[in-house]
Amino acid sequence: MTARAAAVRMLDAVLGEGQLLSQAEAPLAGLGAADRARAQRLAAQVLRHVEQADRVLKPHLRKAPPLTVLNVLRLGTVELALGEAAHGVVNEAVGLIRGYRKHAALSGLVNAVLRKVAAQEAPFAKLPPQRLPYWLRKPLVDAWGREAVTAMEAVQARPAPIDLTLRDGAGLQGDPLPTGSLRLPPGTQVSALPGYATGGWWVQDAAAGLAVPLLAPRRGETVLDLCAAPGGKTLQLAAAGAEVTALDISEARLARLRENLDRTGLRARVVAADALEWQPEAPFDAILLDAPCSATGTIRRHPDLPFVKDGSELAGLVALQAALIDCALGWLKPGGRLVYCTCSLLPDEGEGQLAAALARHPGLRVERPALQGVAPDWITPEGGLRLRPDYWADRGGMDGFFMVRLTH
């Protein structure tokens, strides 16, 4: 198994079986760390450019080949378009097809097509970035306009950089972002960086890192991190000196949170429970609710999402988010504060949830953000914070988020 072969099998799982990349890791078994990383990178590259690859391939194919063959062609086309040497790309693609007994007869087709692609100069240069699926693109265009959505798509076509939230960032070099995160180039091996073993920082997109400053926890306050795993916000809360309870329904995801607490030496009470059935022993000073959502704001990091999701889960997620907001508000001390956030680009999971919560809870108030590095036009008229992938586009963008601070 080579990195390219593993990447093709992962593409088959995503594009043929509807699996997320995180679920399609069986082909990585037996690969060394470097080849695992390369296979994941190759699969993600193809998923960011399926539309362009298919447009380049179409003139050279009289009919669509079997999915595995098409994915080999897509992989080769993307690699050639991104500057890989033609000889190695074409030869390994042909070898891959010959390794599939039922597709071996198509090795000549793969060889001929990829040689034609290799003869083209910059085959993607005049093609627009890959478009979001209609179920997602339409509400985004309705909310922010076609130009903004096209800008988001352009950012999502590039590998995402790595952002660190710093606890002790001494010795780290990178791009300091206005909000306080440190940005490193895509593909940086984070475990080799100074401060990793001692917990001086953790990986967390700069947008996600704003939720805790918005909550503004104070030392000694009791704070609930609701839907906490994998724990970046728990670490921020604990580092601020809060008495943190980290609750999540998934014991498996909480294992990673516990690992992060161990690495950083930070403390939190970790609870595995369904938030809709759980009851706290006492009310909290503050609650951070990072609610389950469509994750459409994370496509720059997870390019498989548009191929696996179709929006059918949205109604259920919106209902769950509303129920969690109502639970969280009931667990606050008088005058306590709640930050609700989702890593979603869809207004139904952000601005719409805020409007509905204000209607359900007449005493609820929005506290407008006053945060370092936040541009005024990121703040919605109602006082929420809307973050989009096209913000900081020249620096690699950011994840899409909605967050708002509420008091009652």
Tell me, yes or no, whether 169 and 99 share the same domain: no
| CATH number for 39 | 1.10.940.10
Structure tokens at 341: 């956030």
- Mark which of 119, 135, 154 sits at the end of a domain: 119
Structure tokens at 220: 């000694």
Q: Which one of the listed residues 227, 293, 327, 343 is annotated catalytic? A: 343
The answer on pLDDT for 322 being more than 90 is yes
Tell me, yes or no, whether 75 and 187 share the same domain: no
- Look at residue 393 in the predicted model and tell me its pLDDT: 96
Tell me, yes or no, whether 223 and 286 share the same domain: yes
Question: What separation in angstroms does the CA of 2 have from each of 19, 28, 92, 93, 113?
Answer: 21, 9, 10, 11, 22
- Mark which of 85, 119, 153 sits at the end of a domain: 119
At 30, the pLDDT band (50, 70, 90 cuts) reads confident
Question: Looking at residues 270-280, what average pLDDT do you find?
Answer: 96
In a domain, 145, yes or no: no
DSSP per-residue codes, 305-360: HHHH--STTHHHHHHHHHHHHHHHHHTEEEEEEEEEEES---GGGTHHHHHHHHHH
> Range of 187's domain?
162-407
The answer on pLDDT for 171 being more than 80 is no
- Look at residue 351 in the predicted model and tell me its pLDDT: 98
pLDDT tens per residue across span 120-147: 999 999 999 999 999 999 999 999 999 9
In a domain, 225, yes or no: yes
Structure tokens at 245: 């309870």
Residues 308, 360 contacting (CB under 8 angstroms): no
Number of compact structural domains in the chain:
2
In the chain, the amino acid numbered 244 is: V
In a domain, 138, yes or no: no
Question: Looking at residues 195-223, what average pLDDT do you find?
Answer: 95
In a domain, 375, yes or no: yes
- Is residue 343 part of the annotated active site? The answer reads yes
Which residues are CB-neighbours of 380 under 8 A, at least 6 positions away? 351, 386
In a domain, 334, yes or no: yes
Q: Residue 406 gets which letter from DSSP?
A: E
Tell me, yes or no, whether 105 and 169 share the same domain: no
DSSP per-residue codes, 2-18: -HHHHHHHHHHHHHHH-
- Mark which of 64, 85, 119 sits at the end of a domain: 119
Tell me, yes or no, whether 112 and 168 share the same domain: no
Tell me, yes or no, whether 185 and 306 share the same domain: yes
Nearest to 157 by CA among 324, 397, 327, 350: 397
Pinpoint the alpha helices (H) of 49-174. Answer: 50-57, 67-81, 86-98, 107-119, 134-144, 146-156
Tell me, yes or no, whether 115 and 210 share the same domain: no
In a domain, 24, yes or no: yes
Tell me, yes or no, whether 169 and 76 share the same domain: no
Task: Name the 3-class secondary structure at 154.
Answer: helix
The answer on pLDDT for 261 being more than 90 is yes
CA 31 to chain centroid, in Å, comes to 25
Structure tokens at 24: 């399609």
Burial of 216 (0-12, 13-18, 19+ CB in 10 A): middle
pTM for the structure as a whole: 0.93
Tell me, yes or no, whether 189 and 267 share the same domain: yes
Structure tokens at 217: 């926890």
Tell me, yes or no, whether 177 and 292 share the same domain: yes
Structure tokens at 224: 């609930």
The answer on pLDDT for 401 being more than 80 is yes
In a domain, 261, yes or no: yes
- Look at residue 241 in the predicted model and tell me its pLDDT: 96
Tell me, yes or no, whether 229 and 301 share the same domain: yes
| CATH number for 309 | 3.40.50.150
Tell me, yes or no, whether 101 and 178 share the same domain: no
In a domain, 137, yes or no: no
